[in-house]
A and B are shown apart, each in its own frame.
Chain A
C-alpha cells in the first residue's frame, strides 16, 4: 500500500498545489483559509522545493503578486477567506479580462454558518460576477485534485480560476495517499503586450469579448468533466424527483441516500458549477419531474436552471436561506420534500427529543472570551475607565471580543475602526457636538488596511484616539507573523517595519508606546491623549499598546508570574467579573465570593490593579 497521511483540508489543498507544480503562493490569513500557506511551507521544506511563499499584507496585495507571477508564465496561487476576496475584488475583476499565461488559482474559503466571519457570502457568486470558472470540492481529497485541475484549466484557457472550499473541506481531516512531488523549473519571462497587460477601455472591450468566448468553451468542457460533474440517471427512465448538489452538501446528500438505500433518487453533482454546464443540467432536468437543489451558501445552481417550475430550493422556500446546511438540516429538507411529493420519506433520524431536553436545561452560554493574561483585556479595561462616554470603534481580530468588556461598539470590516472613527467624528463635529471616540485595531489588521484610513483621517483633520493593540502576531488566525516583526512566512528574515514608523508616515505627531499590563499608566496616557485630541493645535492621538500575545509567546509574554488570590475583603460587587471578564475569575458559591481558578490563571497579575476593594492580592 502507498504511504498515507492524515491531512487537514487546507493541507490537502497545499499538497495539490505543489503536486501541480505551483511555484508562487501568496496569502493573507483568515479563518477558514489560514492553514494553507503554512502547509505549503511545511511541504516545501520537507520536499526541498523552491516554491516562493509570502504572507502578503492584504488579499488584494496577495492577488496582484500572484497575478504577476502567472503573467510571467509561472504557476501561482493566492489564498484567502471569502471576505478577503472582497478586498481583492478590484484585482480579480480586471485579471479576468486580462487573463494569464501560467496557471493562476485563487483559493477563497467560504464560511457557511458563519463560524468566524462577518458574512455568509458565496464565493461562487463572486466568480460569476468576475466571469471566471469556479470549482467546489466536497472533501479534502477532491480539493487536492481540484487545486491541480484549476491550474491546468487556467493555463489552457489563459484565465484565472477560483477554487472555493467551504469550511467543512478546509477543516476536515482525511487520509491521503502520498506520491512524489515534482519540481517545476519553469523560468520567468515577460512578453510585452500593452494592449493586454495595460489595456485601455477600447481594448478592454475586446478582452471582454475574448473572455466571453472562453467561458462558452469552458461551459462545454464542464458538461463532460465527468470526474466532478456527473449524474447517476438510468437512461430512458423518468424520475419523480432528482437532487442537484455541489460541494459539501453533495457529500451530505450522498451519505444520507446511501444510509437510507434510496437508489430511486438520482443525483447530479456539480463540482464545477460555473461556467454552468448547461447541457448536463438540461439532461438531468428532462429526466426528473422535480429537482431539489442543495447548495451552499447562496443560489448559484438554482439561478442557472432554466425551467423554474421544476425547481425546489431556496427560491421556493424549501431550503433555508441562511446558516450552514448541516446534515440534520439536509435530512429534514429531503424528508419534507419527499413527503410533499407523495414519495416515501426518510426513516427515523435516530434523534430523540434531546433538542427540547437540552433547551430546557438552560445551559450556560459559552461565548468566546479573551484568554487569561490577554493584554487586550487590560487595554479595554483602561480605555473604558479613561473614556467611559466614548464611542468605541473596533476591528477584526481576537480583540473584537472586547465586546464582552463593553469596549467595542462597532466592527464593520478590516480597517474600519479607523475609517468609522473619522466618519463618526465628522458626523458629530458637523453638529458642534464634542463626541469622544476611541478606536482599537490590532497590529496585523493595521498593516492590512489601517494605514489608508489613517492617512485619510489625518488629511481631513478628524479627531479621535487610536489604540493599536500590538500583540506582535496575528493571533486569531493562528499566530502568523506581521510586517512589524521582520519574520517572513518561511521563517526567514524580512525587513521589520515598526508600527511607529508607519504611523508617523501617516502624519501623526502624537505617538506613545505603552505596556497595557500597567493599567494605571495606560489610563493616564489615554487621558493625556484625550486632551491632545481636543486641543485646537492637536490632532489624532495614537497609542501603541504593546505586549506580546500570551499564546504565541507562551514562555516569554509574562516574565514575572504573579500568583493571585481573592481575600475576604471581596464584597461580591461582581465588578471584576463584569468589567474585567477574565476566565480565571469566577464566583465561588460555597465561599460566597469571587475566586481564582488556578488551572486557568496565566499569573499576569493585572487583576490586582482593578479590584475597587483591593481584594485581589498577590500570594
Chain B
C-alpha cells in the first residue's frame, strides 16, 4: 500500500474525531505513517464535521478533493456533501437506514465514477445495543470487514479496547464487533454472488 486517503464525515457530536483517532492509532501500531486533520471550535457545534486521515508518506494533512479512496459517513446528507472528496473507483461506507441512497442521481454518479457504495444502519445497530451515540464504532466495525480496510478488525478492536474509558470499554467493543459481523456477512454474501 502506497498512500491511502480517508474522509470521515458526519455531524458535530457523532464521534468523528474518535473514529479518526482509532484508525490513526491502529495504522501507527502497524508501523505506518499517518497525517490527520480535524475540526474544532465553532464549526463543531452541531455543524458538518469532516476529518481527514492520510496513511503513507505525505506532507500535508488535508485530502485534496477528488483524491479520497475511502469515505466513511455517519450521516447520509453529510455523505453527499463530502462526495467531491471521493476519487473515481473509491468506496463510500454510509450510515443509512435503507439499503439504498435516497438521492438516485448520486447513485448514477457513483456508478459512472466506478465507486462502490455500502450501506449500514449503524445508528440502529448502536441503539439496539443500548448506546445510540456509538454509531461511529458500528460503522467502523462494518468497514473493517472489507478489503478496502488496510487495518484488520482485530487490530482496530485492540485500539478501541485501549482508547475507551473504563465505563464504555465493553459496550464499545460489543458495538464494534456487531458492525464487524454484519460487514463480514455482507462480504461473504457479495462473494457468493
Contact = CB atoms under 8 A, between A and B. Distances in A.
A476 interface: yes
Size band of the interface chain B makes with A: 35 or more
B48 to A, nearest CB: 5
A173 B65 contact: no
B45 interface: yes
Interface in B80-123: 80-81, 83-84, 86-88, 103, 105-106, 109, 112-113
A139 interface: yes
B34 interface: yes
A251 B45 contact: no
A477 B106 CA distance: 36
B74 to A, nearest CB: 13
A251 B46 CA distance: 30
B66 A368 contact: no
Contacts of A344: none
B34 A115 contact: no
Contacts of B20: 173
B165 to A, nearest CB: 12
A400 B39 CA distance: 18
Given A171-B38, A368-B46, A354 B59 contact: no
Contacts of A354: 66, 83-84, 86, 109
A589 B33 CA distance: 47
A254 B60 contact: yes
Given A368-B43, A371-B45, A371-B46, A358 B60 contact: no
A147 interface: no
Contacts of A331: 64
A401 B112 contact: no
A328 B105 contact: no
Contact of B40 (A31, A250, A398): A31
A351 B34 contact: no
Interface in A29-65: 31-32, 34
Nearest to A326: B62
Given A331-B64, A370-B45, A171 B40 contact: yes
B37 interface: yes
Given A6-B24, A172-B36, A357 B45 contact: no
A4 B47 CA distance: 33
A248 B64 CA distance: 13
B61 interface: yes
Given A255-B58, A349-B64, A358 B81 contact: yes
Interface stretch (A68-76, A216-224, A292-300, A359-367): A359-367
Interface centre among B38, B45, B112, by most chain A C-beta atoms within 10 angstroms, is B45
B28 interface: yes
A361 B127 CA distance: 29
Nearest to A360: B105
B7 to A, nearest CB: 12
B34 A367 contact: no
A452 interface: no
B113 A352 contact: yes
B192 interface: no
B131 to A, nearest CB: 11
A175 B32 CA distance: 10
Contact of A357 (B25, B37, B43, B106): B106
B35 interface: yes
A139 B66 contact: no
Given A175-B33, A350-B66, A364-B77, A139 B105 contact: no
B109 A6 contact: no
B83 A252 contact: no
B130 interface: no
Interface string B1-36: 000000000011100000011001100100001111
A258 B20 CA distance: 25
B55 to A, nearest CB: 11
A524 interface: no
Nearest to A374: B45
Given A251-B59, A349-B66, A358 B35 contact: no
A138 B59 contact: yes
Contacts of A367: 46-47
A477 B45 CA distance: 11
Given A173-B24, A361-B103, A369-B46, A327 B60 contact: yes
Contacts of B13: 371
Contact of B35 (A172, A351, A364): A172
Contacts of B39: 115, 171
B79 to A, nearest CB: 10
Contact of B84 (A252, A351, A370, A583): A351
Interface string A463-487: 0000000000000111000000000
Contacts of A349: 64-67
Interface of A: 4, 6, 8, 31-32, 34, 115-116, 138-139, 168, 171-175, 248, 250-252, 254-256, 258, 326-328, 331, 349-355, 357-358, 360-361, 363-364, 366-371, 398, 400-401, 476-478, 583, 599
22 contacts: A4-B28, A6-B21, A31-B40, A172-B37, A173-B34, A173-B37, A248-B60, A254-B59, A255-B58, A255-B59, A255-B60, A258-B59, A327-B60, A350-B66, A351-B87, A352-B109, A354-B109, A357-B105, A367-B47, A368-B12, A371-B45, A371-B46
Question: What are the 6 tightest A-B residue pairs by CB atom distance, in nearest-first order?
Answer: A351-B66, A31-B41, A116-B41, A327-B64, A251-B60, A172-B61
Given A32-B41, A34-B41, A352-B113, 8 more contacts: A34-B40, A173-B21, A174-B34, A255-B58, A328-B65, A366-B46, A368-B45, A599-B127
